[in-house]
């Protein structure tokens, strides 16, 4: 059985988890095994139907009063319990910070190796994986000995696709863990609670700014364009390091990995650590004064120029186009 660790926000399924479910379904089909999912929290019952549409046969819902917030070690205990009970051959998580963290705890609990950030998994003995290292600039082939194989999938390796109909039966259980497993509990940050609209990871349009934007105030035209195009703001690490924008908006190896339809990179040079987060954009428009900037190599369209002049022109033309 292939077991996928599924994350959700009060019953709203996480897009990256659905990608892992789609990948898990393909793995399960290749070995003729069923596909199961683990969801933590009582809200998990409400996502069982949707997971059934994605091909999940049984949704294991871990319900416990200590599991209302994210508690990585307790979540890993729940995963360990289900993996052992069901004899899972592969445990798949999304390669998000949360997915990788739970998987790392699961590896420590079970004494099994973990392969994080994989783009390819071939089940067997050993399970073979291809992992993205150094922000995707190196692809490493590795063998995982032991069962189950603990693997996380690089976000946006695959497009989430319902394409499967299974029963999505709910198997509720109360996981066993001690108080020590609840020593680390992550409460939602106030900013995250208050934030509205589309998340960076799911955004279809991202207007992203780098050092070339110059200041926190310099993001005003980027915000204006984002609003016009129904998008959201992203940025480079220089920007978060300077305190111009919050870390939640950082794109890259140590930020969020995104795959929008349109990524407009404004004053960003294209360091590998930044590209690691946006290389899956369907269309990339680059605005930069330097025609030799590394990011030009990833641009579908490049505008060589000062964002102080280029952005107002784009905003004006966008307004005209929207007006009819
Ligand atoms: C372990 C590690 C992890 C990292 N993780 C990340 C990460 O997750 N995300 C990330 O982004 N970085 C990350 N970094 C940092 C990364 O290496 C780069 O330093 C960073 O991405 C550079 O940011 P930048 O492109 O905004 O700045 P710069 O490299 O300084 O580039 C600024 C660009 O703006 C252009 N420019 C300047 N003025 C204008 C103007 N008026 N109009 C148009 N263009 C202009 C310049 O030509 C230049 O190309 C990481 C680094 C390390 C070591």
239 Cα–ligand 1 center, Å: 8
pLDDT in tens, 269-287: 999 999 999 999 999 999 9
* Domain range list for the chain: 2-187, 191-323
Mean pLDDT of the chain: 93
pTM for the full predicted model: 0.76
26 Cα–ligand 1 center, Å: 37
Cα 285 to Cα 206: distance, rounded to the nearest angstrom: 10
Check for a shared fold between 2-187 and 191-323. yes
pLDDT in tens, 275-319: 999 999 999 999 999 999 999 999 999 999 999 999 999 999 999
pLDDT in tens, 145-194: 999 999 999 988 899 998 777 888 999 999 999 999 999 998 876 544 44
292 Cα–ligand 1 center, Å: 14
Looking at domain 2-187, its CATH class is: alpha beta
Do residues 248 and 193 lie in contact, with contact meaning Cβ atoms separated by under 8 Å? Answer: no
Superfamily of segment(s) 191-323: TPP-binding domain (3.40.50.1220)
User: Cβ(256) to ligand 1 under 6 A?
Assistant: no
Cα 238 to Cα 163: distance, rounded to the nearest angstrom: 41
pLDDT at position 295, please? 97
User: Cβ(118) to ligand 1 under 6 A?
Assistant: no
Length of the chain: 324
Distance set, CA 194 to CA 72, 83, 189, 191, 239 (Å): 23, 36, 9, 5, 22
**What is the gyration radius of the CA atoms in the chain, in angstroms?**
21
Q: Which is the closest atom of ligand 1 to the Cα of 238? A: 23
63 Cα–ligand 1 center, Å: 43
Which residue from 95, 241, 269, 272 has its CB within 8 A of the most atoms of ligand 1, so it is best to mutate? 269
Report CA dihedral (257, 285, 206, 209) to the nearest 10 degrees. Answer: 90
Other C-beta atoms within 10 Å of 43: how many? 16
């Amino acid at each position: 059985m292939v077991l996928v660790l599924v994350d959700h926000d009060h019953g709203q399924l996480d897009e990256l988890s659905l990608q892992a479910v789609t990948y898990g379904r393909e793995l399960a089909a290749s070995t003729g095994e069923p596909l199961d999912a683990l969801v933590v929290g009582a809200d998990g019952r409400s996502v069982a139907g949707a997971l059934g549409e994605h091909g999940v046969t049984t949704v294991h819902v871990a319900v416990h009063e200590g599991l209302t917030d994210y508690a990585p070690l307790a979540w890993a205990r729940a995963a360990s319990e289900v993996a052992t009970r069901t004899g899972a051959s592969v445990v798949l998580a999304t390669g998000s910070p949360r997915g990788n963290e739970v998987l790392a705890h699961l590896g420590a609990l079970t004494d099994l190796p973990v392969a994080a950030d994989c783009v390819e998994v071939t089940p067997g003995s050993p399970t073979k994986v291809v992992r993205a290292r150094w922000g995707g600039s190196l692809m490493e082939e590795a063998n995982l000995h032991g069962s189950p194989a603990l693997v996380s999938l690089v976000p946006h390796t695959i497009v989430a696709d319902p394409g499967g109909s299974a029963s999505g039966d709910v198997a509720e259980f109360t996981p066993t863990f001690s108080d020590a497993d609840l020593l680390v509990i992550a409460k939602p940050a106030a900013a995250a609670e208050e934030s509205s609209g589309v998340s960076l990871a799911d955004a279809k349009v991202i207007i992203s700014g780098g050092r070339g934007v110059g200041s926190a105030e310099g993001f005003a035209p980027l915000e204006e364009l984002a609003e016009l195009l129904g998008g959201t703001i992203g940025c480079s690490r220089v920007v978060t390091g300077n305190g111009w924008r919050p870390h939640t908006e950082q794109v890259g190896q140590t930020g969020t990995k995104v795959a929008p339809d349109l990524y407009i990179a404004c004053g960003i040079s294209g360091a590998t650590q930044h590209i690691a987060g946006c290389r899956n954009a369907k269309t990339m428009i680059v605005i930069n004064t330097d025609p030799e900037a590394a990011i030009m190599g990833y641009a579908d369209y490049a505008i060589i120029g000062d964002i102080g002049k280029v952005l107002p022109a784009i905003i004006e033309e966008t307004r005209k186009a929207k007006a009819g």
